[in-house]
Every structure is written in C-alpha cells, then in structure tokens.
Structure 1
C-alpha cells in the first residue's frame, strides 16, 4: 500500500508538472544569437525557456519511475509477457525522452537541436502515465475490461456513424445549393458547405448532438436535412450504448464480489510419502513415546506391523504365504 500511494503521488505530480509547463507564468522568452554562413552573419532567435524548477521536479519523478520499472522487470518471472504489456510499454516510452533530452541538451549541432525539438513534441506521451492508475483503482480496471469486451459494439457504432456522416454530408451539400446564386459557381459567397468533405465535419458534430455552430444550414431544405441528421444521430448512438452499459455493470459486479471475498492464505501441505519410498513404512516408528503413552504406542506398533505385512511390499515381489 505504501508503494502504491508513493507511485500515485509521483504520477499526480508528474501530470501537474506537465500541465504547468504550458502556462505562461513558467515560460520565459529568451533572445539568443547564432552565427550562420561560416560565422559571417549574426542571427537572433527567440526561444521559450521553461522554469528549471519544473525540470527538477520532473527529474525526481522520472528517477522514481525508472527505479519502479527496473525493479518490476527484474523480478518479473516472464520477461516476454512483461514487455508485451501495454502499460509497461507506456512506462518505457514516457521515461526514455527525458534521458534523451538531458543527454542532447549540451550539444549545439543542428542535428541535436532537431532531435530536441522532436523530443519536446513527444512530451505529450507523459500524459499517458494516467493509465498507470489502473493498477491501483478497481474502477479503471473495470472500465478497461468493459472497453475490451465491447469492441464489436464500438465498431458497429463507428460504422453506423460513418454511414450517417456520408449520407447527410451529401444531402446538406445539395440542399444548400438549391438557394445559391447561379453566378456563384463555387457557392463561396452564399454557404459554407462548398463541398461534401467539408460537410463531414458538420455531420459528425450534428449527429453527436454537439453543435458547435460554426457551420449551419441557411435554407429551409438544409434545415430539414439538419433536423433529420440530429434525429438519426440520437438513434444511432442510442442503439449500441445499452450493450456497453450492461458489460460495465457485469464487470463492476464481479469486481465488487471479488473484493468482498475473504483472502485465502496459501498453506504449505507436505507431500505424502509414496509406497515405493523407503521412509513410507518408517514414519510412524520415529515417534517418541513417554511413559503415559505406552499403550498407545504399543497399539500403533501392532498396527504398524500389520501395515508392513500388507503395504510394504516392493513392486514385483510376491507376498509370503501363511
């Protein structure tokens, strides 16, 4: 529990640092000069420099994540299964850019600067560390199992949505051209639906009932198409959703029931001696008897003698005849 809380704390600190790096209060504009054309021309550049305190905090978090990753991979019994795990891949991809950036920060070559620029773009991978919380929260694991079990429903939803987008984008394009001026061949002065691909964005926004308002029909025929698109979007999204909700309820019930079960401790059960083992017939003879257990021990000795006659026969031997 202590390690889980520490890991959770570092994840939250890392994500907070990632968000604060984009705030203008932690970014300073720095003017730099550079000689180009073999040192004959001086050019000034403006660069954004992040507060070093955030880099130090991120460095501490990365050190913890590196230690955690190395310990887990060191003690993992099956290394190949560890490498195939998606969360472990996210851990490695989120850790590696920091070390590359620190190693290349001291270089001044153009190739190093290009790599540093690419690594700064790849920084967004750090936000994927939020998925590491699935190791500590049951609800996130239930959500992951639900999404995995509902892949067919999601594919069905995407297919329905794609068909609706294609149909209504085509309809809105021709519906808006009805009121256009004959002299305006491109419809650029009359409507924003100048072609069908532009209508794809409007159809997606309308079918999902989001409605940004950046594109809207202006003719009565276009408004009719827009109303049909919104109704079709509600019905399209509403059909696969109950199946996904049922999967979530099933996995959530199983997770809650598993948490309520008492934990079973593994007990060591000694392996019984085999009949062919030389210690099989001598196990009872090693018992110590005190003066108060003489009768019991004598009874056990008589039973042991009978047991030796019947059971202590080596394989392939013949029992003596009486």
Structure 2
C-alpha cells in the first residue's frame, strides 16, 4: 500500500505541469510539447493528398501512438486528482478535475480516435475529426513556463484589458451607427443596417482595410480617417498593457532568482565546520550583517527579504565590545527549520535535548544543538514562540518579535489542557513531537540559562523535582536514577577544573524546590512518563570562547556518569 501511495505521489509530481524542479517532470513536459508540435506538423502534411496517400499507414500509427500517450496522461491526471484537488471524497476531486477546461480539451483530443470502435460511421468523416488533436495546442500552456507567464499576465491584467475591450466596443458601435446614417442612401447594398456597418468599423479600427466596403461620401471618408487613427490608438493599448505586464513579470522573475541565489549563498555560509574541541562538525549559528554584506556581496534589503516570515533566518541585535564600548550589533541567525515551531531531529536515541526558549535565548538553543550533534541524539527546539518580556539576552531586528509568537513553551496552562485563550497549532505539534521522542529509558534534558555573578550559584545549576511521597515517606525524583545525579555533578565539576584549571561550581536544587504545575518538567515527567532534568547554564559560558569547551565537558560527563556509556 505504501509503495502504491509513493508511486502515486511520484506520478502527481511528474504530471505537475512543470511546477516542480523535478528532472523527470521536466523531461515529461518536453516530451509532451514535442508530441503536440509533431501532431500539428502531421495534420499539416496530411492536407497534401500525395503525402497522405503515400504515408497513410505511418500517419495512422503515429496517431495511435499519440492517442495512447494522451489517454494514459489523462487517466494518470484523473488518478492523482485527489492529490491536486483535495476533497472529503475522491469522487469530488474527480469531478473538480473533469470540470476543468484543460480536461475537456484533453477529452476532445482523444475521443474521435475511439469513435470508429464504438459506432459505425463513414471513415472519411471520422478522419476529419483528427483536427481535434489541434486542441492540444491550447494545453501547451500547462507545460511551457513562457506560455504560463503570458496566461498569468492576461489574468492579472483582465480589468485593464476589459476596460480596453469596452472602449473598443463603444467606439465600434458609435462609428458603425454614424457611417450607417452617412452612407445608407448612397450604398444601401453595402450599409443596409448598423449591424452590417459594424464590419466596416471593425476592419477600420483594426487598420486591416480589406477594401470590400468603404465610404464614398466626403463626411464618410472623414469619419473613416478619424476612426482609423482612433483604431491605432486603441489597438496599441492592450499591447502596452501586456508588454508592461510582461516586463513586470520578468523583473519579478529576475528578483526571485536573485533572492534564491542569495538564499543559497547564505545557507552555504552557515556550513557545518569541524570544531576540534568537540571533535565533530556543527553549523555556524550566526554571522554579523556587516560581514555578510562584505564577504558575500549581498544587499541588506535582500537579507531582510530572505528573513521575512517564519523561516530559517532571523535578525537579532546583540551587545558586543567595540573599541572598549558596549554597542548593539546586528546579526543574522540561521536555524534548520522543519516544523511549525522550529526544529525536530529524531535519531532514535534515549537522550532528548530540549530547548523551549530558543527564540528568547538564542545562545542556549545553539548550545543544545551542539550537544545533540556531539552526542548524536534527539533534538527539539522552539524557535518561533516565547514571551517578549523574556527576551533578556538580545533584542530583535527592526520589526521586533512577531506578536503571533507570544506563547510560552516552558510553562503554560496548555500543558494542563486548562487554557481559555487560543492555542497555536504549533504548540500541539510540539507536544506530539515530545512524545514521539520517548523510547525505553528516555532522558529529557531541558536547557535554560541564568545570569548571576554570585559564586554561590555556580556556573551550571541542575534542576529536577524532589517530592516527598506521604504514603511511603520517601523522596521521589523526576530523574529516577538519583544516585547518578551526584556522579554527574561531581564528574562535571572535575572535568571543568581539569580543562580550565580552576574550580567550577555545579549546584543542584534543594529539597524545598517547588515548581508550577504548568511547567514542561511536570508535563514530561507525569504525562510522557520519562526522566527529565533542567540544565541551567550561566550565560557567561555561552557568550564567549568557552561554549564549545563546555559542550565537550558536558557531553563527556553525560556519556560517562549520566547514562554510563
């Protein structure tokens, strides 16, 4: 069943009228275009009796081949109609497809071939119906980007073109009426009615001038000259409209190409580079806008266009030291986005790195990402939602935080299903993905930051639940193997001292630690039924050269003391 569905999607992509940059779709489009044009040539050649008699068998074979291809294509489009026209029932999708003009053109092009097999008729008359294959020419717009472009221009400029048509019709009726009254007595056979006079008005307005009908009176000739001049002006209007639309579309196409190239350049700039300290490759998290403009030769307006909406790029101001002064500097961040809320990476590992605050605290999101790459474990990060008041590390670009993203993923009543306000669909996807990552003996490590100069707080603070069970009079932990926490705490401090040559304090929460019931920790521990711990890191470690050192130290401690690898 899965193979059939996969094959169906492939067929839908190939028959997708060249909308996808798929090599098979492109080759199929070229094949159909060539077949349609060969049909036109064949019909023209068949009009010569000698050629038709000499190559009748070849023409018949070619027609049969053409009809078979067109029939298979039509049936294929009908089969995948439910993918192209989503509906509650498949028959509704089929109906939508059959009611499209292109479907009727396809049918009229192939039905004449099958008529002799259904009814008895004069074959000479049936052969005349072969010209119906010429209707396929109108369907070339499905396969040709240029024809699709012209079609879009006509649709977008339909109001202007309709106004021109109305003007043309008005001038036509007025000029036909006047010429009728001027010429009816002298040429009653040429101008017997206003309707007949319309023929003269049409050929004069379009400056064709067949010469079969023309005015003989002086006033009629004067009118003919005026109508001819007006005709030149009116016929030039739709040409100008379509030409300007074509130029506009070409400029838009060139602009999209430029943005696409710029986007690729930017993606390539955030390549994965090997970091010796952690002995693995990680992507770059951010680049200054100034360096991007200089090194990649990109316009700042193009960068803003690329970063519009919820995508992998985001502007953010950061405080940096410049000539002894702290200044705000604009950076462009890069994230690998694959969900509504941000990033989801499932490597079927028992470790899950969770970053619910990556929007407000980019540094901790990048740290959690580096940890997941080093340990080759699962990673889930919220990149688009958060409380604006919590954006304490850095400030965003000129547009600020999108108000639609004002939703806290770390603590929210939505975890308890007790919320009256509208909940973003991205949050429900976040919950589902958190559950998807659960496996046997899963450990969820939720990363966060704090800012404190107190040496008593330390550089890393571990938070987990300690609750007293009143029935058994024992302590219960959100991390089931409590004895390993002590080993992890001690090992992390020892490795940090060995690395940096000084004592590094690693602290834990005490027995009196309390937490709101709407926190992500309780949700993971009680709803998902998994071990969970929050690793709070002093921001000082995330904003300097010690970040990768801490990744190496912590990942080694997690492997050795926490999960025992």
User: Which protein has the bigger strand share?
Assistant: 2
Kept in 1: contact 2:112–2:132 (CA 8 A): no
Partner of 1:249: 247
SS at 1:314's partner residue?
helix
Indicate how the Cα distance of structure 1 residues 9 and 243 shifts in structure 2: closer, same or farther if over 3 A, else same.
Answer: closer
Q: 1:93 aligns with which of 85, 95, 108?
A: 108
2:211 paired with 1:204: no
Kept in 1: contact 2:102–2:139 (CA 8 A): yes
User: Which protein has the bigger helix share?
Assistant: 1
Q: How many residues align?
A: 268
Partner of 2:45: 20
Indicate how the Cα distance of structure 1 residues 169 and 83 shifts in structure 2: closer, same or farther if over 3 A, else same.
Answer: same
Question: Displacement of 1:230 after TM fit?
Answer: 0.8
Q: 2:183 aligns with which of 173, 176, 181?
A: 176
Spell out, residue by residue over 1:71-121, the C-alpha distance to the aligned partner (whole angstroms, 9 max, x if none): 3332341344533443233222211221124443xx3xxxx44x984x555
Q: Following the alignment from structure 2 to structure 1, what is the Cα–Cα distance between the partners of residues 256 and 191?
A: 54
Question: Displacement of 1:127 after TM fit?
Answer: 1.5
Q: Which moved more, 1:17-26 or 1:88-97?
A: 17-26
Question: Displacement of 1:207 after TM fit?
Answer: 0.3
Indicate how the Cα distance of structure 1 residues 26 and 275 shifts in structure 2: closer, same or farther if over 3 A, else same.
Answer: closer
Q: Following the alignment from structure 2 to structure 1, what is the Cα–Cα distance between the partners of residues 489 and 30?
A: 57
Question: Displacement of 1:275 after TM fit?
Answer: 7.0
Indicate how the Cα distance of structure 1 residues 225 and 116 shifts in structure 2: closer, same or farther if over 3 A, else same.
Answer: same
Question: Displacement of 1:277 after TM fit?
Answer: 7.4
SS at 2:434's partner residue?
coil
Gaps of 5+ in 1: 29-48, 181-185, 286-293, 318-322
Indicate how the Cα distance of structure 1 residues 267 and 101 shifts in structure 2: closer, same or farther if over 3 A, else same.
Answer: farther
SS at 2:345's partner residue?
coil
Q: Following the alignment from structure 1 to structure 2, what is the Cα–Cα distance between the partners of residues 215 and 135?
A: 42
1:108-187 alignment, distance < 5 Å: 112-113=121-122, 117=125, 122-177=129-184, 180=186, 187=188
Question: Displacement of 1:227 after TM fit?
Answer: 0.7
Question: Displacement of 1:243 after TM fit?
Answer: 3.3
Q: 1:60 aligns with which of 52, 65, 68?
A: 65
Kept in 2: contact 1:157–1:240 (CA 8 A): yes
Question: Displacement of 1:240 after TM fit?
Answer: 4.8
Indicate how the Cα distance of structure 1 residues 167 and 122 shifts in structure 2: closer, same or farther if over 3 A, else same.
Answer: farther
Question: Displacement of 1:200 after TM fit?
Answer: 0.9
2:98 paired with 1:83: yes
Partner of 2:526: 314
Partner of 2:222: 224
Q: 1:7 aligns with which of 32, 42, 51?
A: 32
Question: Displacement of 1:299 after TM fit?
Answer: 3.8
Indicate how the Cα distance of structure 1 residues 102 and 259 shifts in structure 2: closer, same or farther if over 3 A, else same.
Answer: farther
Kept in 2: contact 1:142–1:255 (CA 8 A): no
Q: Following the alignment from structure 2 to structure 1, what is the Cα–Cα distance between the partners of residues 133 and 58?
A: 18
Indicate how the Cα distance of structure 1 residues 313 and 53 shifts in structure 2: closer, same or farther if over 3 A, else same.
Answer: closer
| RMSD (Å) for aligned C-alpha atoms | 4.1
**TM-score (structure 2 length as normaliser):** 0.41
Indicate how the Cα distance of structure 1 residues 125 and 66 shifts in structure 2: closer, same or farther if over 3 A, else same.
Answer: same
